[in-house]
Amino acid sequence: EVDVSDVPPTAQVTGLTTVWRPDVVGEMLTQAQALANAPDQQDGMFRVRAVFDE
């Protein structure tokens, strides 16, 4: 057993650090490159099954 009577309740056990990096515009894919490995496409867009039945 460990005596934790002097240890205050803690919500975060490690130091808080920001892991985000600044947004930097880099090289972009062309539409053809983005769709190159798509299993299904139509009219230059990804084609997926309907999510809602209406």
Which pLDDT value is given to residue 3?
93
Q: What percent of the chain has pLDDT over 90?
A: 54
Q: Which domain holds residue 33?
A: 28-54
* Any domain includes 17: no
Beta strands, E only, 1-54: 41-42, 45-46
pLDDT: which is higher, 51 or 53: 51
* Any domain includes 7: no
* Any domain includes 35: yes
* Any domain includes 44: yes
CA dist., res. 37 & res. 42, Å (int): 13
* Any domain includes 11: no
What predicted TM-score, i.e. pTM, was given to this entire model?
0.46
Q: Region 11-33: what's the mean pLDDT?
A: 88
* Any domain includes 41: yes
Number of domains in the chain: 1
**Phi-psi region at 9: left, alpha or beta (left = phi > 0; alpha = psi -120 to 50):** beta
Confidence band, pLDDT 50/70/90 cuts, at residue 31: very high
CA dist., res. 7 & res. 37, Å (int): 54
Eight-class DSSP state of 34: H
